[in-house]
A and B are shown apart, each in its own frame.
Chain A
Amino acid sequence: MIWGIAQLVLFFAVIAALTKPIGLYMARVYAGERTWLDPVLRPVERLTYRLAGIDPEREMRWTSYTLALLAFSVVSAFLLYLLLRLQGVLPLNPAHVPGMPSDLAFNTAVSFVSNTNWQAYAGEQAASYLTQMAGFAWHNFMSAAAGLAIAVALMRGLTRHTAQEIGNFWVDLVRSVLYILLPISILLALVLISQGVIQNFAPYHTATTLTGTTQVLPMGPVASQEAIKELGTNGGGFFNANSSHPFENPTPLSNLLEMLAIFLLPAGLTYTFGRFAKDQRQGWALFIAMALLFACGLAVIYGYEQAGNPVLAKLGVEQHLSALQPGGNMEGKEVRFGIANSALFATITTDTSCGAVNSMHDSFTPLAGGMAMLNIAFGEVVFGGVGSGFFGIIIFAILAVFIAGLMVGRTPEYLGKKIESKEMKMAMLYVLISAASILGFSALAVMLPAGLAGRLNAGPHGLSEILYAYTSGTGNNGSAFAGISANTPFYNLTIGLAMLIGRFLTIVPLLAIAGSLGAKKTVPATSGTFPTTGGLFVGLLVGVILIVGALTFFPAYALGPVVEHFLMHAGRLW
């Protein structure tokens, strides 16, 4: 375990070390300050504004900001839908992939515009190179940039004093792409290629294997997409097997870099937030709360996965860790990653809205898979999606300070902004919408033959598959208990709706909060104000996240992962 734990610690140490520099850099970018990339990018940025007819100086109220975001989402989703339908007749399609049927194209377009990257299709069979680049990679950039924009708008709302405006959506979007996502992606893509991630436009190769059989090797511009897929917490793999595919994630180093890329921007945003708040401790408090939840989730997943599956143990399978084998529950895992790096990746990808996988969550032991699902159900606030993780945790911070404020006898405040009924309404709406979508759609699916037909596994695990699908859709995660056959009209439609609800119905209340907080006075802190920097706040925040998540999902989970755990130990199979 020493090697495993050492790698987990190393990963987190690197993230902690990168948080400040990347956070500082993002703060500069969003404050419109000069960066060292200005000589190259500033002209491109100016040109973009000119061609698009954007006045970068004009800031927007929250309503305009929301409208701009929605308009952009509608347009970009529609463009992707068109591309998917028409890819068969468009160029850059050496594998002659046909156009997608309408329900799958709808699901896929929604999936990418909502930063979910749920894949009801298999990339190597269903998407042309053009679709992968101009469709998927483009959306990977834009949906991440939109998430960043919203997070920054919320930061402005939280830290501005009686301001009506929360920034210019187009500027935030363009600057996110140009100054943050693009440069890091270029760097990351090149390192990934050095590790063996492919990047070409060659047609699929046919090889004659050592034993004389034929093997068709799919090709494509993978690295360029792999980089932004992780960096933008998108998670949509070029191939069906996602980051477990050797062409996407060939070595332990590429694996480490991909994991770092997932956490990089969300972790950095906590520092950016501290800059906005002019109090770095505000950012670190969120960072530490996230780190605690991360550690808890990781401990559960790693612990149960390394312990292995008692059902297989009874069959005489050796699952003990040794110098010669990783042991543990190796079903659905790659040998080069073993248990530690698979558990770590699973934790990271479900803590954030990434959803890329390097192991198959469906085959996880019940509580490890349940923990992955719960990570998403918590709202992906453990560092979380690019942007979305930040605004998710702010919702919980609002709930936490509300309770805390009452308990110290003061109208609750966060960063000097009074939390009143409007903010509470929006925060509760945010929590409620997610819960309603996950539980509602899952209940619908288990009642309908069309829903039940999708399961690969029977018994409680089948329920987990369905729950995971809607949790992932609503949480815009995109990972799956992939045994589920989601490419059916029923699942394409309902998961598509869940993704839309999970993204856009939660963003509107969120930007409303940004608007209403921005317009408020900033009340100076006194010793009667509950400080949102100390250990007490961190504890309370973690407590609120755990309690809200646990209370909402415990009954359903009791019939899924929890009971399956006991059944597995009792040896009851399905």
Chain B
Amino acid sequence: MGRYLLTALRVSLLTIVLVGVLYPLLITGLGQLCFPFQANGSLLTTGGTLRGSALIGQPFSAPGYFHPRPSAAGAGYDPLSSGGSNLGPTSQVLHDRVAADVAQARTDNPGLDTVPADMVTTSASGLDPDISPANAYAQAARVAQARGVPAMDITALVTRCVTGRQWGFLGEPRVNVVHLNQALDAAYGATGR
């Protein structure tokens, strides 16, 4: 057994160097070389200020912004506490939370036809940057009203911001809320809060 342990230790140390150190360093080098923007977090900066990541959702609650999905990550969109609500389908807590969110959504968006599922459900990561197009269109009227802009314009902006299926068939059509709100601010000024 002693001999096996010794061999095991040697193999361990050798492989730690190989796949535990050299491999990540190689990938980092190549990543930084080929895809520096992505490798560093797809960061959004405006005027030297770091505004977040294109991939990570941010909390928006003002009526003049599109709202992201409810988040279970910390107090909401806290990347240090990524995760979902983990509430089961028969959870009273889930029921009550969704009931409250549905009520809130109806209050926020008078005349709301239906409540899209993703509008009142938390995402898996709690950092989901996307909402469904249905969700975005459902909020367009409210945003338009809050910003005093014709609803048609906002709807058109949403349509422009819809990301289709990747390569035309992968994934789901979606709207990146951070992008959308950035576009909103760019078009109508950051006055919506």
Contact = CB atoms under 8 A, between A and B. Distances in A.
A247 B55 contact: yes
A252 B170 contact: yes
Contacts of B178: 210
Interface stretch (B30-38, B139-147, B148-156): B30-38
B110 interface: no
Nearest to B60: A211
B104 interface: no
A476 interface: no
Contacts of A315: 95, 98-99, 102
A363 B117 CA distance: 14
B107 to A, nearest CB: 13
A522 interface: no
B4 A71 contact: yes
A362 B21 contact: no
Contacts of A251: 166, 170-171
Contacts of A245: 82, 125, 127
A122 B81 contact: yes
Interface in B68-117: 69, 73, 77-92, 94-95, 98-99, 102, 114-117
Given A53-B7, A573-B91, A332 B27 contact: no
Contacts of B83: 122, 240-241, 360, 482
Given A198-B41, A483-B88, A252 B166 contact: yes
A7 B19 contact: no
Nearest to B181: A210
Nearest to A73: B8
Interface in B3-17: 4-12, 14-16
A256 interface: yes
A1 interface: no
A495 interface: no
Contact of A337 (B28, B34, B62, B171): B171
From B87, B178, B185, name the one whose CB has the most chain A CB atoms within 10 angstroms: B87
Interface of A: 3, 6-7, 10, 44, 48, 51-54, 67-68, 70-72, 74-76, 79, 122, 124-125, 133-135, 137-138, 141-142, 170, 173-174, 177, 181-182, 185-186, 189-190, 193-202, 204-213, 215-219, 221, 223-225, 227-228, 239-241, 244-247, 250-253, 255-256, 308-309, 311-312, 315-319, 322-338, 341-342, 357-360, 362-366, 369, 456-461, 464-465, 481-483, 564, 567-568, 572-574
Interface of B: 1, 4-12, 14-16, 18-21, 23-24, 26-28, 30-32, 34-35, 38-44, 49-62, 65, 69, 73, 77-92, 94-95, 98-99, 102, 114-118, 120-135, 137, 165-167, 169-174, 178, 181-182, 185, 190, 193
Given A210-B178, A217-B53, A244-B124, A68 B80 contact: no
A221 B123 contact: no
Given A71-B7, A246-B127, A215 B56 contact: yes
Given A72-B8, A247-B56, A457 B91 contact: yes
The 9 closest A-B pairs by CB, nearest first: A252-B171, A483-B86, A244-B124, A461-B88, A241-B82, A138-B20, A71-B4, A338-B172, A360-B84
A324 B132 contact: yes
B64 to A, nearest CB: 10
Contacts of B130: 334-336
A190 B31 CA distance: 6
A256 to B, nearest CB: 6
Contacts of B125: 239, 241, 244-246, 334
Nearest to A145: B15
From A204, A256, A332, name the one whose CB has the most chain B CB atoms within 10 angstroms: A332
Contact of A135 (B20, B28, B38): B20
A319 B126 CA distance: 20
Contacts of A483: 86-88
6 contacts: A7-B170, A75-B8, A141-B15, A216-B80, A251-B166, A335-B131
Majority SS of interface residues in chain B?
mixed
Contacts of A76: 8, 12
Contact of A316 (B55, B115, B171): B115
Contacts of A241: 73, 82-84, 124-127
B44 to A, nearest CB: 8
Contact of A211 (B50, B53, B193): B193
Nearest to A215: B52
Contacts of B102: 315-317
B28 A74 contact: no
A217 B52 CA distance: 7
A246 B41 CA distance: 10
Contact of A53 (B10, B51, B87, B166): B10
From A53, A124, A324, A482, name the one whose CB has the most chain B CB atoms within 10 angstroms: A324
Contact of B89 (A74, A75, A342, A365): A365
Contacts of B87: 331, 362-363, 456-457, 483
A145 to B, nearest CB: 8
Given A217-B52, A225-B24, A256 B170 contact: yes
Contacts of B181: 210
A363 B16 CA distance: 37
A332 B70 CA distance: 10
B161 to A, nearest CB: 13
A317 B115 CA distance: 5
A558 to B, nearest CB: 15
A456 B84 CA distance: 12
Contacts of A255: 170-171
A142 B15 contact: yes
A339 to B, nearest CB: 8
Nearest to B30: A190
Contacts of A324: 116, 132-134, 137, 173
B85 A331 contact: yes
A170 B94 CA distance: 51
A114 to B, nearest CB: 16
A216 B131 CA distance: 22
B23 A182 contact: yes
Given A193-B39, A208-B51, A332 B31 contact: no
